[in-house]
């Protein structure tokens, strides 16, 4: 007889595991199945070698509108609450960096920085500080001032920034869910889901090597593959997946924390930033944003690529000026030989003017793919997280989460919204009081 669960979760990154943890710990759900193709949780986008380890927003994201800044903050503030609670204390999830800032170079950027400081950053981060004195700035990050032309104006917003190991966070969520011995909680690693189908009682999930399972509710948090699974169930026909690779360069460790750079509001990807690596061994510069044929780093998938081909992809990249410019620039940075030189000249030296070319090395051990959804009708890029179906439908017991960026920081918020829908569909009780003890408030939309 087939194994049947209340809920099955495909994908054990930060989003899938956060959903499983909240379900197991804060509802009266009886059975839960996690399915993951890798050999442990948090190995793909949530791995700390893939992403920039930043808990967004910290205030340095000049491309966010005030509304986006506030909305994401509400979710990402759940991470320190969790990390400092009985659930997270045993894990090395969160570290505060010595410095955090966004840097403006030249008069135009500095004027924009001043405006953003007053309009967007200060209202959300009251401790933020605008600084324009090079000597003072050098006390925080000496290398962003050293070697800079005397007449080049700079300004920073001084902030606090956290590093998060989102892979460790995912592992901790899974461990905490699995501790619930009173419930049937099963975890299947090395198990790739091949196909999902709608059946009368819920959903059947077919795997490559562990047979099939049934679930009354299905959560698909499969990163770049979420959209393709959603389409198997007739959802997301309006969207096409746009995989964007993010690569990094490294230098010897010269940055104390996180130095983000100028990016206009509404532009989809953060401009190059310099970050202290988790263990402090190097400084990382990046990530770049280049269209890629791969859905996960170093894992070509011709079938997925062909299935996803759509003229809208090319049309969107070519017709949207901001996207086109970013892509052209970043494709140039990826060119063999010359790419490194261009990145050094136009990106790394903007942050660290004195960095020698020889010190800046491509770092293939870091980086990964964030897959953005493009709405085929409106050509809109869905940069933040979104879940299909976008409007809940009776009898459609699915949450298919797309969380390209900064989905890891928002994982608990996305999970909370998933759990809310699941509890309502399966008639589960959600323990608000227990939840509030850990997270302080309920993250209402
Ligand atoms: C270069 C880069 C920098 C970034 N920097 C930041 C940052 O600083 N801060 C931030 O908050 N976010 C950042 N992000 C975004 C962040 O990494 C993602 O939003 C987040 O990790 C998404 O989590 P997830 O659980 O949705 O996906 P993932 O962590 O990718 O998890 C999806 C899981 O699904 C599994 N899976 C897929 N297909 C199947 C299948 N068929 N069967 C079984 N399992 C399957 C995968 O193996 C994987 O474990 C960055 C991303 C990139 C690429």
Q: What is the pLDDT of residues 177-197, one digit of tens each?
A: 999 999 999 999 999 999 999
Q: Which structure tokens are listed for 231?
A: 């389409």
| 258 band by pLDDT with thresholds 50, 70 and 90 | very high
* Full DSSP string of 384-404: S-EEESSS--TT--EEEEE--
- Helices then strands, counting H and E runs in the chain, come out as 15, 22
State in Å: Cα 18 to ligand 1 middle: 13
What are the residues whose beta carbons fall under 8 Å from the beta carbon of 384, sequence distance 6 or more?
68, 72, 404, 405, 406, 407, 410
State in Å: Cα 166 to ligand 1 middle: 9
Query: Is the separation of the CB atoms in 265 and 62 below 8 Å?
Result: yes
Instruction: Give 338-389 pLDDT, tens digit per residue.
Output: 999 999 999 999 999 999 999 999 999 999 999 999 999 988 888 788 999 9
Ligand 1 site residues (CB inside 6 A) read: 10-16, 35-38, 43-46, 50-54, 56, 166, 192-193, 221-223, 225, 246, 287, 367-370, 401, 403-409
State in Å: Cα 38 to ligand 1 middle: 12
Beta bridge partners of 32: 7, 185
d(CA 333, CA 340): 6
Residue 320: per-residue pLDDT: 85
Which residue is closest in CA terms to ligand 1's atom 10? Answer: 406
d(CA 154, CA 236): 44
State in Å: Cα 401 to ligand 1 middle: 11
Q: Pick from 18, 122, 50: which is nearest to 299 by CA?
A: 50
Query: Is the separation of the CB atoms in 79 and 93 below 8 Å?
Result: yes
Which residue is closest in CA terms to ligand 1's atom 31? Answer: 13
18-32, 95-109, 289-303, 306-320: which has the minimum mean pLDDT? 306-320
Query: Is the separation of the CB atoms in 413 and 439 below 8 Å?
Result: no
Which residue is closest in CA terms to ligand 1's atom 2? Answer: 51
More confidently predicted of 269 and 252: 252
CATH of 3-47+166-236+383-439, one of 3.40.50.2000, 3.40.50.11290, 3.50.50.60, 3.60.15.10: 3.50.50.60
- 389 cis-preceded (ω within 30 degrees of 0): yes
* Full strand arrangement of the beta sheet holding 273-276: 129-131, 154-159, 100-105, 258-261, 273-276, 282-286, 249-252, 361-362
- Locate the domains of the chain by residue range: 3-47+166-236+383-439
């Amino acid at each position: 007889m087939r194994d049947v669960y209340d809920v099955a979760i495909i994908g054990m990154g930060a989003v899938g595991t956060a959903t499983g943890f909240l379900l197991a710990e804060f509802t009266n759900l009886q059975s839960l199945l996690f399915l993951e193709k890798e050999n442990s949780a948090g190995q793909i986008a949530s791995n700390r070698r893939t992403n920039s380890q930043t808990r967004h927003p910290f205030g340095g994201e000049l491309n966010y509108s005030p509304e986006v800044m506030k909305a994401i903050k509400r979710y990402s503030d759940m991470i320190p609450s969790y990390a400092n609670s009985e659930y997270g204390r045993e894990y090395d999830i969160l570290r505060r960096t010595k410095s955090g800032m966004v840097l403006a170079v030249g008069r135009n950027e500095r004027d924009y920085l001043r405006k953003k400081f007053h309009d967007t950053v200060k209202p959300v981060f009251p401790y933020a500080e605008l600084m324009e004195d090079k000597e003072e700035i050098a006390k925080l990050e000496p290398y962003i001032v050293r070697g800079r032309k005397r007449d080049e104006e700079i300004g920073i917003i001084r902030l606090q920034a956290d590093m998060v190991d989102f892979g460790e966070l995912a592992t901790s969520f899974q461990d905490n869910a699995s501790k619930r011995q009173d419930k049937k909680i099963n975890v299947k690693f090395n198990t790739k889901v091949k196909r999902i189908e709608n059946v009368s009682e819920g959903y059947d999930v077919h795997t490559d090597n562990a047979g099939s399972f049934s679930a009354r509710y299905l959560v698909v948090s499969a990163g770049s593959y979420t959209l393709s699974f959603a389409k198997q169930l007739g959802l997301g026909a309006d969207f096409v997946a746009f995989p964007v690779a993010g690569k990094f360069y490294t230098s010897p460790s010269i940055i104390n924390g996180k130095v983000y750079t100028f990016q206009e509001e509404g532009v989809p990807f953060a401009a190059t930033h310099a970050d202290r690596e988790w263990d402090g061994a190097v400084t990382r510069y990046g990530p770049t944003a280049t269209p890629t044929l791969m859905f996960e780093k170093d894992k070509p998938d011709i079938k997925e690529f062909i299935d996803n081909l759509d003229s809208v992809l090319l049309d969107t990249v070519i017709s949207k000026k901001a996207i086109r410019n970013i892509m052209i620039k970043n494709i140039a940075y990826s060119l063999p030989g010359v790419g490194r030189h261009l990145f050094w000249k136009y990106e790394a030296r903007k942050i660290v003017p004195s960095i020698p070319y020889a010190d800046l090395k491509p770092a293939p051990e870091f980086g990964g793919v964030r897959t953005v959804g493009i709405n085929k009708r409106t050509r809109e890029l869905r940069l933040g997280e979104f879940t299909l179906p976008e409007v809940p439908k009776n009898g459609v017991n699915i949450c298919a989460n797309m969380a390209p960026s900064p989905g890891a920081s928002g994982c608990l918020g996305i999970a909370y919204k998933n759990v809310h829908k699941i509890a309502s569909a399966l008639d589960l009780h959600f323990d608000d009081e227990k939840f509030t003890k850990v997270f302080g408030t309920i993250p209402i939309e």
